[in-house]
Chain A
Amino acid sequence: MRRHAQLLCLCVALFVASSPPAHAEEPARIVSLNQCLDAILVELVPTERIAAISHYSRDPLRSPIAALAQRLPITYESAEEIVALRPDLVLASRHSAIPTRNALRRVGIHYELFDVPFSVKDSLAQIRRIAALVGNAAAGEVLVSKIQRAIDAARLPPGAPRLTAAVYETGGLTAGANTVTDDLMQIVGLDNLAARYDIQTHQPMQLELLLAAPPDLLLVGEVPAADGTQAARVVQHRALRKVHSKRWDFPARFMYCSGPTIVEEVAALAAARDAIYAVSRAQAAR
């Protein structure tokens, strides 16, 4: 009987979570356990209301908010640390360990689970959900419209030809169909080679596929100098030298976090596209 009641509660809770909250009680001690959620959170609430962010946010190479993160408390995603912070809202991602989430639930700490967004629409919905949770829907709309303005500014100009492109990060990782990156590529006027080969989400792409039909634009991640790892070598593979695609720097962090990162990412994609247009215009003029 009790089990049924729990299940019912869970269903009700899920239902409530999916509909916008009726009351606007502002949580004052928010803990975020994921770098991507951190980046959204700092845009929506003043830092006094953030009890802790994830330790990944302090990484100067991968985090867009590394400087700010130095001044904020962090956790290493252990239940002990989170409980000791007495948070009234925890933003968790699938990256956090399942036992940790279970422990939070047992102790009665309100946590919200976020998945990786699979499209721009998902990402904007995620921002609105966080904004509603922290009781600042207006700030959420401001951020959403800022992202939408950036996307509109990068749209393919009417009449301009579409190009083919592929993301190729260390380890051969690419952004396939059902990713925010794929969505943005479509908007900017780039046809994603990985999606055409039916690669879903973030998976490695075989080098063969890339060589068989080299795209106009190859978006590669930064390769740290003197990095002898196999992962880095794939990007520097001999065969890749034969590919005469235009190379453009595309940091791996674009692939994992969306939200505010979209502004920078979509601008980078548009800049890469325009660089190819400039090259072909110069060739036509000659």
Chain B
Amino acid sequence: METKIRILIAKPGLDGHDRGAKIVARALRDAGMEVIYTGLHQTPAMIVEAAIQEDVHVVGLSLLSGAHMTLFVDVAEMLKKKGLGDVLLIGGGIIPEEDIPALKKKGIAGIFGPGTPVDTIVDFVKKNVKR
């Protein structure tokens, strides 16, 4: 059986900057994963529905607007509510250091700020994917 890691890269909220998301998407593709990119301005409900239909192992969120404490947590809670607790959830963007412990507690397993080498993200995904 050939398992391929499938990952959804999504941009929740209102900011329109997806350069970072695209760079990460490309790095994950080059690491042999199937990356589903959703584009901008997604609601948590849209992201979770896409995660269900695409049956992804990982959801990666990118957000630069500062609304991560609301939107990241919303996605985490909605994933759990829909029975997708085994999906690895990670996030990136402008996330202040002091917010990270709270986000991790809420189920966002990895947080990657500006300047993170893409290999770090690829390795994290490979190591922590749950199924």
To the question of whether A and B form a pair in one complex, the answer is: no
CB within 8 Å of A: which residues of B?
none
CB within 8 Å of B: which residues of A?
none
